[in-house]
Amino acid sequence: MTRIVLFENIHPSAREVFTAAGFTDIVTHAGALAGTELLDAVRGASVLGIRSRTQLTSQVLSAASELKTVGCFCIGTNQVDLDHALEMGVPVFNAPFSNTRSVAELVLGEAILLLRRIPEKNMRVHEGFWDKSAQGAYEARGKTLGIIGYGNIGSQVGTLAEAAGMRVIFHDIEAKLPLGNAKATASLKKFLGQADVVTLHVPGGESTENLMNAEAIQAMKPGSILINASRGTVVDISALHAALESGHLSGAAIDVFPTEPKSVNEPLDSPLRGQPNVLLTPHIGGSTQESQENIGREVAEKLVTFLKLGATKGSVNFPELSARDPEGATRILHVHRNVPGAMGTLTSLMAENNLNIISQRLQTRGAIGYVVTDVEGPVSDSVMEALKANPITVRCEQIAV
């Protein structure tokens, strides 16, 4: 029986996918467990499903001796010891695309609100002032939206913005196919000088750290707006603060910060707090009911496709093999140490045990190789034991088809 253990209130859409695929042994835990409670909870699990708060350390993974695969029902995967999972032959999956639309909608909404100076006007009315001035308020129609990072989210933002009548330009380090009438601009400086609203959709990490530093912000058009719903490290917050104070920028929307509070009661420490035409949100760009439902479905489908077909496409730590229908009676999933002659050893072992190979696919990643072999007829337990016992083998399973 394949036991699935889910933590942290994963959306019910995941359970629907598992049960529809015939996996009904599902244990759920409402919260994130830790310590001995977590170690006890993972014992006997074939599949673990977590969100961002459950720490799957090497110790926890090792305690799950039956483990076949892990699903992170979120975007980030740094709560899992991915290298250890790889060494155990366990692929880890996540949901990188499920909240793309949620972020894109928020960004377009923010651009429109900031162009109209709504954050400031909203506050004034709350304070009892009825200031009807059109000063500094503009339509989005005909304005230029500049997108830095034209990937999944950036390109969606562009499509939505065009529907609102905006002109879209983008800057990316890779050549990208423009959607709609979007135009690529190779020079960042030239790009920054053209956009009325600049929105950031690049990955985090060293290569984009302080991409929007004082110099880049200075290169932006006077009176323009900066939106960051990517990663907190991409914008130099003090340089942004200075540009808002001086009036060089007319507004900003920031969803992600270099250092973010750990809990609801911890206040955000940022010079941007209290700035008039600035929207501050608590890293909720991708947080909607729809995205949670999509995440539940997307990750559960990847886990089911692995369990049923051995497919690892989209795994964050494992050699990737796409889903393909079985061609024989039995599919053997073999994870081995990536050493010279490993494939020869495996095929010889299969031949010695009278297995007739119909098709075979190999992919390697670092120290690990992954082979999916379809063979004629059933495979006995003793043959499986022989495959498992070979020193090159990390793990070996069969799927009867």
Report, in Å, the least distance between residue 354 CB and ligand NAI.
Answer: 47
Q: 259: which strand partners?
A: none
Cβ atoms < 10 Å from Cβ of 159: 14
Long-range contacts (CB closer than 8 Å, 24 or more residues apart) made by 167-173: 167/142, 167/143, 168/144, 169/144, 169/145, 169/194, 169/195, 170/146, 171/146, 171/147, 172/148
State the DSSP H helix or E strand holding residue 335, giving kind and residue range, or none if neither. Answer: strand 330-337
Whole-angstrom CA distances from 67 to 356, 367, 386 are 28, 19, 21
Report, in Å, the least distance between residue 119 CB and ligand NAI.
Answer: 18
Active-site residue (options: 241, 283, 324, 365): 283
- Closest C-alpha to 47, from 88, 102, 90: 90
Report, in Å, the least distance between residue 100 CB and ligand NAI.
Answer: 6
Please state, in angstroms and rounded to a whole number, the distance separating the CA atoms of residues 20 and 355.
32
Report, in Å, the least distance between residue 262 CB and ligand NAI.
Answer: 16
**Binding footprint of ligand NAI on the chain (CB under 6 A):** 75, 96, 99, 103, 148-154, 171-174, 201-204, 207-208, 211, 229-231, 255-256, 283, 285-286
CA torsion 295-301-307-310 (nearest 10°) is: -100
Report, in Å, the least distance between residue 113 CB and ligand NAI.
Answer: 17
Whole-angstrom CA distances from 252 to 186, 255, 345, 396 are 24, 10, 60, 53
Please state, in angstroms and rounded to a whole number, the distance separating the CA atoms of residues 193 and 2.
57
Alpha helices, H only, 43-81? 58-63
Cβ atoms of 249 and 224 within 8 Å: the answer is: yes
Q: Which residues contact 93 (CB under 8 A, 6 or more apart)?
A: 69, 70, 71, 72, 299, 302, 303, 306, 314, 315, 316
Nearer to ligand NAI, 170 or 370 (CB): 170
Which residue's beta carbon is nearest to the bound ligand NAI? 151
Q: Return the structure tokens found at 225.
A: 């707006």
Nearer to ligand NAI, 150 or 318 (CB): 150
Nearer to ligand NAI, 55 or 152 (CB): 152
Active-site residue (options: 101, 171, 201, 231): 231
Active-site residue (options: 260, 290, 327, 352): 260
Report, in Å, the least distance between residue 311 CB and ligand NAI.
Answer: 21
3-class secondary-structure state, position 48: strand
Nearer to ligand NAI, 75 or 118 (CB): 75
**Quick check: is 231 catalytic?**
yes
Nearer to ligand NAI, 285 or 319 (CB): 285
Chain centroid offset of residue 395 CA? 27
Long-range contacts (CB closer than 8 Å, 24 or more residues apart) made by 344-352: 345/390, 345/392, 346/371, 346/373, 346/387, 346/390, 346/392, 349/386, 349/387, 349/390, 350/375, 350/387
Report, in Å, the least distance between residue 358 CB and ligand NAI.
Answer: 37
Report, in Å, the least distance between residue 114 CB and ligand NAI.
Answer: 17
Cβ atoms of 279 and 254 within 8 Å: the answer is: yes
Cβ atoms of 200 and 149 within 8 Å: the answer is: yes
- Active site (catalytic) residues: 231, 260, 283
